[in-house]
Amino acid sequence: MTPLTSSRARRIFGGWSANVAGLLLALTQQIALIPLFLKYWSGDTLSAWLTIFAAGMLALTLDAGLHGWSLNRFLLFKSRADCDRRTDRFYGAMLRLYTGYSVLLLLAMLAIFAAVAPSRLLGFSSEPRFDLSFAIMVLGMVLTLPVNVATALYRARGRYGRIGGLQALGLAIGQVGQVVGIVMTGSLLVVTIAFVAGQAAIAIFLTFVDVRRQFPFLGRFRGRVSPRWAIAQLAGALPFSVTNFVELGLSYLSVLLIGFFVSDRLAIAQWSLTRTIVNLLRQVSFQTTLPLAAELGHDHAIGARDSLQRLYVRGSVMLVLLAATVTSGALAFWPEFFAIWTHGAIPPDATLSITLLLGTCAATPALLAMSYANYSNRGPLLLRAKSMQLVLFVVLALLLIPRYGPLGAAVALIASELVAQSAFLAVVIVSETLQRPLRYALVLLAMMVTIVAAGAALGEAISRLAPGRGLVHFVVECGVWLAVVAVVASPLLRASIREKLTSVVSRI
C-alpha cells in the first residue's frame, strides 16, 4: 500500500495546523468574547451584534463564485508547460474583474441602505447606531472580496499553511480591537469597526504585498479584461457562487429570517448562540477537508485515480473520527457549558441543540464530497445540488420558522443539507470515485454511531460522578472525559498500528 508522500503529508498537516489556529481564534470570537460582551451589553445589544456579525459573514458569500472558479483554473494550469505565464495573466485579469465587481456590489448595497433602514427591517430601531454599524460591517466585508483571488492561488499552489496563518492573524487583530473597544467605550459601533479593521488589514497585505513575495513570477497585474471575457468568467463561476452562498450563508441567513419572523429578542440570541457553537463544529470539519480537497483536485487534474481513491477514503475516516468525537462531547456537556457561558441569562434549548448537533454530525462525510467537487470543477453537479438545497431551505424556513421559531430554522437547515448534499451530491461523487461506495458508507455510519453513543454515554457517567458544582464541576468532567478519550486513542501513537489501520481503511 502506497503511503502519503512526505511532501504531500507536510502540505496537508501544515494546512491543518494553520486551520487549527484559525479555529481557536474563531472559538475566541464566538465563544470567549460572548461573556465579555454580556458584561457590558444587554441581551438586546448582544442580539444586535450577533445579527450584524451574521450579515457580515453573509456578505462574504457574495463573491459571485469567482474564488472557486479561480482555484480550479489555477489547478488546471498546473498541468500545462507554461503554468506560471498562464497563472500570471489570469491572476491579473481576475483581480481587475474582482475589484470591479466589488465596487458595483458596494454601490448596490449603499443604495439598499439608503432606501431601507436595517434597524426597522430587523427590529432593532431602539439600538443606537445599529444602522451605521450594520453598514460598516457589510460594506467592509464586501471590500475584502478581491483578496479571494490571492487565497485561491495560495491554495492551488499548496500554501495552505501560510494563507491560514495570515487569516488567523487578521482575526487576532480584530479580536484585540474588540476587547479594547468594548472595555473602553462599550460601543457597538467601535466593536464593529475593530472587527472589520482586522479583516481589511490582512486583505490589503495579502493582495498588495505578500502575494508578490510568495509568487515572484506575478507581474504588475495588468491582465486585460474584456466584457466578453468577464461574462464568460462569471458564467463559469455561477455554480461556485450558488455553492458558496448555500454552504456558508444559510446559517447566517437563518439569523436574519428569525429576526424578521420572531419578535422575541431572547429567541434570536438563543438561536444565534446555539447555531454559533454547532457552526464551529461544522467549520472544524469543513476546514479539515480543504487541504485534502486541494490534493484530491490535483490528483483529479493529472488523472492519478489510485492515489485519489486512497486519499479520499483515509480523509473520510479521519473526518468522521473528528466530527463524531467532538459531537459526543458536546452532547454530554452542552447544558452546563451554555449556562456557564451565558451566566444563566439565556436559557438553553435541549431539543434545538440536539437537533443541530446530530444533524450536523450526520452530514459531515458529505463535506469532503462537496469540497472535492469544488476542487475538481464539477460545476453542473454543484449547481444542481446547491440549488436544490437553497430551495428546500427557503421553503421549509418560510413554513416552519413562523410556527416553531428557532427549532423550525434548525429543521430547515439540517433537512435541506441531508437531502441535497448527503443524499444527492455525496452519492454521485462517491459512486464516481470509489470502487465500493456502499461498503464505504456503511463503515462510516457504523463508526459515527459507535463513537457518538460511546462518547455521550461516557460524558453522562462522568457528569454524574464528578465532584464540585458550576465551573469547577464542568472543568473536572471535561478534563476526565478528555483523559479517557486520550487513553483510548493512545495506541494510534504507534507507527505499526497506524500503518495496519491505514492498510485496512484503504481497502474499504
User: Domain residue spans in the chain?
Assistant: 1-225, 238-508
CB atoms within 10 A of CB 430: 23
- For 34, 62, 253, the CA distances from 145, given in Å and listed in that order, are 27, 8, 19
SS3 annotation, 351-394: HHHHHHHHHHHHCCHHHHHHHHHHHCCCHHHHHHHHHHHHHHHH
Q: What span, in angstroms and rounded, lies between the C-alpha atoms of 279 and 357?
A: 9
Query: Could you read off the pLDDT of 446-484 as tens digits, one per residue?
Result: 999 999 999 999 988 998 888 777 788 888 888 899 999
How confident is the model over 140-146, as a mean pLDDT? Answer: 93
Query: Could you read off the pLDDT of 242-294 as tens digits, one per residue?
Result: 887 887 777 777 877 887 787 676 777 778 778 877 877 887 788 788 778 87
Exposure b/e, 36-64, CB count within 10 A at least 16 = b = ebbeebebebbbbbbbbbbbbbbbbbbbb
Q: Angle 470-489/437-465 helices, nearest 10 degrees?
A: 140
Joined together, the cell numbers standing for residue 264 give 422575541
**Are the CB atoms for 43 and 345 separated by under 8 Å?**
yes
pLDDT of residue 290: 77
Query: Could you read off the pLDDT of 169-220 as tens digits, one per residue?
Result: 888 888 889 999 999 998 999 999 999 999 999 999 998 888 888 888 887 6
Q: pLDDT at residue 32 above 90? A: no
pLDDT of residue 29: 61
Q: What span, in angstroms and rounded, lies between the C-alpha atoms of 51 and 55?
A: 6
**Are the CB atoms for 225 and 53 separated by under 8 Å?**
no
